Chains A and B, each alone.
Chain A
Amino acid sequence: MNNKVIQVEGLTKMFGDFAAVNAITFEVEKGEIFGFLGANGAGKTTAMKMLIGISIPTAGKANVAGFDVFTQAEEIKKNIGYMSQKFALYDDLTVKENIAFFGGIYGLPRKRIKEKSKALIEELGLEKVANKLVAALPLGWKQKLSFSVSIIHDPKIVFLDEPTGGVDPITRRQFWELIYKASHNGTTVFVTTHYMDEAEYCDRVSIMVDGKIEALDTPKKLKEQFNAANMNDVFLKLARG
């Protein structure tokens, strides 16, 4: 069996003459936590959009969860979860209603949604606010809920686009515990982030600079390669060229 859940080869996205993503090539293994790093405007989000099937690549090859991004975008969508930079639950729906809605659009049977909803609320300790509008929750809770909702259909891969923007270190730590748990359960995690300390939590990281992947390895090896004390230094060395 093929253990590579994402295979990308020479993937390119052109906007006019500008190559937002310039022939990137990488692979992600099943169950891996793959950090996708880069400065703002380096092309992270564009690359991710191609992988999740809402942007058509200009050139190259990409296979996600066993499906081709050019021809099988609909199949890909059934097998992935996605959490965007913007907090994306409905504020005017309750916690339970949000869970039911997202479970519903992924086609989970009603019974399964009920079980999932109960388990999820318990796991996140949201029993008291389960019937409250999401608007009333603190940002950190919303983000954890948002992540749990994005993997409600047990996807093969979950794509997280800067999921921890604007939350405190403790919540970020808790958030990463959720990510580890998902990874432990066999879900591959593809995460973009600005926080270099988070990069250390990843199994492997790639660093994008100006549309190209300039480095790709485990955090440990990258630090050795660039002779840096931490990922932050690695990043700075790369970004400055």
Chain B
Amino acid sequence: MKRFIGFIKKEFYHIFRDKRSLFILFGMPIAQILLFGFAITNEINNVDIAILDHSKDATTKEIIAKIAASEYFSIKQIIEKESDIESIFKKGKVKAVLNFEKDFSKNLIKENKASIQIITDATDPNTANTISNFVNAILQKYQKQLNKKITIVYQIIPESRMIYNTELKSVYMFVPGVMTIILMLVSAMMTSISITREKELGTMEILLVSPLKPIQVIIGKVFPYIFLSIINAIVIVLLSIFIFKMPVQGSLFLLGLESVLFIISALALGILISTVSETQQTAMMISLMGLMLPVILLSGFIFPISSMPFPLQVISNIIPAKWFIIIIKAIMLKGVGLQFVWKETLILLGMTVFFIALSVKKYKIRLE
């Protein structure tokens, strides 16, 4: 046991004396969470738009006032003719133009319909979509107000409600994803690099010739990273609670246990990578290409799995991160307990056992 403590102490020296490791361990999680939280977002806020009002009557003025009052839009410019639309987009001054037809009020009263053209700059399709949805929502609300005065006998009013993330804050979606990436990075990449480093330096040989058992060497190498990964998970959760006011609905204890399970599966992958790579560079490349890319692209973190082509959907099933993201999203946002995520947990557990078994086997082969 004392040997083991000495070993772990040494691992911490390695980590704390290497600026690069320190940065990856502590700088990256915080930077990523803040980046995803503040910069990369699907929400819109004070988007600049222009108005082209051909009728300039009471109704259009009312609608324009409503749009101007919303926090989503700010009216940057009032233009006078159709030909200005293109030039204003080209200058990049606005993201959208609202084009009210001539005689808007009159048409509305006489023919019961009037039209507005919403022209959006779709060079950024997500924003364009969101803008047009938001304008539509404002218009519908206004329409409802008008209809109160008049009675229409039959009408279907769809009322959509978003639950679990009522404010549609994208940071809520990113936190589970970022947490997954960070844990994967710290656990798998850092361990694989730290083990191959000993191989590269020749110290691994010395350790294997010492009375330390191979399994002790491996546990000694991964233990600090389990510890640091847990700290990272805690930091990420705290940041999301206190900076982004993200409500963590479910049990923190369950969240912790699931995270440890995921960390262990990532560590096993890290050990596996270190058994096949001879140098730190190789280990890093394999970790980045083989682990990080699938985690980012196929785990459902950024791109929804349900809209992927079928083969990719099948492949996504073998990525532990996919299951972990499902689990922690459910725990954090829906506040569910184990009874709702036991299936995913079992899959993750199965994968973890498989990776551990595989890495132990590989490791033994290397020792002959």
Which residues does chain A contribute within 8 Å of B211, judged by CB atoms?
A: 74, 77-78, 105-107
Task: Find A105's partner among B7, B18, B202, B205 (CB 8 Å cutoff).
Answer: B7
- State in angstroms the CA–CA spacing of A104 and B212 once bound together: 10
Quick one: given A87-B202, A107-B3, are A54 and B14 in contact (CB under 8 Å)? Answer: no
Interface string of A48-83 (1 = CB under 8 A from B): 000011111000000000000000001001101011
- State in angstroms the CA–CA spacing of A52 and B13 once bound together: 29
Whether A90 lies near B202 (C-beta < 8 A) is no
- State in angstroms the CA–CA spacing of A92 and B13 once bound together: 8
Quick one: given A82-B209, A93-B10, A93-B13, are A88 and B202 in contact (CB under 8 Å)? Answer: yes
Q: Is A84 an interface residue (CB 8 A)?
A: yes
Task: Find A53's partner among B201, B206, B207, B209 (CB 8 Å cutoff).
Answer: B209
Interface string of B201-238 (1 = CB under 8 A from A): 11101111111110000000000000000000000000
Q: Which of A89, A90, A106 has the most CB of B within 10 A?
A: A90
Query: Chain B contact residues: over half helix, strand or loop, or mixed?
Result: helix
Whether A105 lies near B13 (C-beta < 8 A) is no
Which partner residue on chain B sits nearest A53 by CB separation? B209
Whether A88 lies near B10 (C-beta < 8 A) is no
Interface residues on B, range: 20 to 34
Whether A105 lies near B203 (C-beta < 8 A) is no
Task: Find B202's partner among A80, A86, A106, A107 (CB 8 Å cutoff).
Answer: A86
Whether B209 lies near A77 (C-beta < 8 A) is yes
Q: Is A97 an interface residue (CB 8 A)?
A: yes
Which residues does chain A contribute within 8 Å of B13, judged by CB atoms?
A: 90, 92-93, 97
Q: Is B6 an interface residue (CB 8 A)?
A: yes
Which residues does chain B contribute within 8 Å of A102, judged by CB atoms?
A: 206, 210
Which residues does chain B contribute within 8 Å of A83, judged by CB atoms?
A: 206
Whether A106 lies near B210 (C-beta < 8 A) is yes
Interface string of B5-40 (1 = CB under 8 A from A): 011011001100110000000000000000000000
Whether A101 lies near B209 (C-beta < 8 A) is no
- State in angstroms the CA–CA spacing of A157 and B4 once bound together: 25
- State in angstroms the CA–CA spacing of A102 and B212 once bound together: 11
Whether B6 lies near A84 (C-beta < 8 A) is no
Add 17 more A-B contacts to A93-B10, A105-B210, A106-B210 (CB < 8 A): A54-B367, A54-B368, A74-B213, A82-B206, A84-B206, A86-B201, A87-B202, A97-B13, A101-B6, A101-B10, A104-B6, A104-B7, A105-B211, A106-B211, A107-B2, A107-B3, A107-B211
Which B residues are closer than 8 A to A by beta carbons?
A: 2-3, 6-7, 9-10, 13-14, 17-18, 201-203, 205-213, 367-368
CB<8 Å pairs between A and B, sample of 5:
A82-B209, A84-B202, A86-B201, A88-B203, A101-B7
